[in-house]
Amino acid sequence: MQPTVFTAHPQPVTIRGRDFVWGARTYVMGIVNVTPDSFSGDGLARDVDAAVRQAVQMQADGADIIDVGGESTRPGSAEVTEEEEISRAIPVIKWLVREVDVPVSIDTYKAAVARAAIDAGAHLINDVHGFRREPEVARAAAEAGLPAVAMHNQRDRAFTDVVGDITVGLLESLRIAREQGLAEERVIIDPGFNFGWTEEQALEMLRRLAELKALRRPILIGTSRKSTIGKVLGDLPAGQRLEGTAATVAISIANGADIVRVHDVKEMARVARMTDAVVRGWPRSAEA
């Protein structure tokens, strides 16, 4: 497989005073699940101390962003109320903004939760419905001067073509962002690996990821421990999908991913660094 070479990149985005320079290197987002029913088996429920310890270790292992989620997004999971999600996630965010130096993100599609997280000090909003469930999420980010991640969610949507459907969905998310006052330059896109796709379609997404560069936005992708990896490797449980995750992370980077969202930060930061050396060149400056 030949790595794709990109000569033009979106403008840098500043998050918590740090410039994220797209194309310089791959950034790593560490996942902190404060849920009782995470698909990956790493949910910490209401254990704030454990969540903070996990995040601190992730920063030490190379995480550039910590993403906190208070509601499971696995297929078939029950939605929780705004109050429940806030009670799970916000205490963790309040501690993390004091205990880590990297940006802290809230993984939510609810405007009330996003606003509570912003009040608690969050630096980034990560919306798995791309503002299409609650457009006010984009407005909350805009009013706070924060960037946001808009993910395309294919669940319950008619299928036409993998990249075509993702593109249509993300263009709608970008339209909503503009309508709500959030500049397109502040939006990071996510194609939504495993959110409503068959295994074959999810793998096609990775093969064709570079096509999404046409949207001229930074690309985040989250393949970590997902069920497609388990299926390909013979129905492996989530805890045994490390090598499969590493393969998908490397291929995603080769095809243009700017941020990889992962559970196993230490290992995937190494994968990203090695893949960057091949794709982007080595040695690179210490500032990159």
Structure confidence by residue, pLDDT tens digits, 62-84: 999 999 999 987 777 778 999 99
Number of domain units in the chain: 1
> Across residues 215-244, what is the average pLDDT?
97
Position 5 in a domain: no
Position 2 in a domain: no
Position 49 in a domain: yes
Predicted pLDDT of residue 8? 79
Position 129 in a domain: yes
Residue 6 pLDDT > 50: no
Cα separation of 273 and 269, whole Å? 6
Predicted pLDDT of residue 74? 72
User: Are 48 and 55 a contacting pair, CB within 8 Å?
Assistant: no
Residue 138 pLDDT > 80: yes
Is 261 labeled as catalytic in the residue annotation? yes
Cα separation of 159 and 29, whole Å? 29
Predicted pLDDT of residue 72? 84
Predicted pLDDT of residue 131? 98
Domain that holds residue 166: 24-279
Among 97, 113, 189, residue whose Cα is nearest residue 148? 189
Other CB atoms within a 10 A radius of the CB of residue 237 amount to 10
Q: Which of 261, 266, 270, 280 is catalytic?
A: 261
Which range (65-79, 125-139, 250-264) has the least confidence? 65-79
Predicted pLDDT of residue 267? 98
Position 237 in a domain: yes
Position 236 in a domain: yes
Helix or strand holding residue 187 (H, E): strand 187-190
Cα separation of 138 and 142, whole Å? 6
Residue 40 pLDDT > 70: no
Q: Where are the alpha helices (DSSP H) in 79-183?
A: 82-99, 111-120, 136-144, 162-179
SS3 137: helix
DSSP 245-277: HHHHHHHHHHTT-SEEEES-HHHHHHHHHHHHH
SS3 135: coil
Is 226 labeled as catalytic in the residue annotation? yes
Share of the chain above pLDDT 90, in %: 87
Which range (61-75, 117-131, 264-278) has the least confidence? 61-75
Position 241 in a domain: yes
For the stretch 167-184, what's the b/e string if a residue is b when 16 or more beta carbons lie within 10 angstroms of its beta carbon? bebbeebbebbeebebee
Which range (12-21, 35-44, 114-123, 176-185) has the least confidence? 35-44
Residue type for 59, please?
Q
| Confidence bin at 44 (pLDDT 50/70/90) | low
Q: What is the CATH number of the domain that holds 78?
A: 3.20.20.20
Position 63 in a domain: yes
Cα separation of 287 and 22, whole Å? 13
- Per-residue pLDDT tens over the stretch 167-181: 999 999 999 999 999
Predicted pLDDT of residue 37? 53
Helix or strand holding residue 127 (H, E): strand 124-127
Q: Which of 88, 94, 213, 226 is catalytic?
A: 226
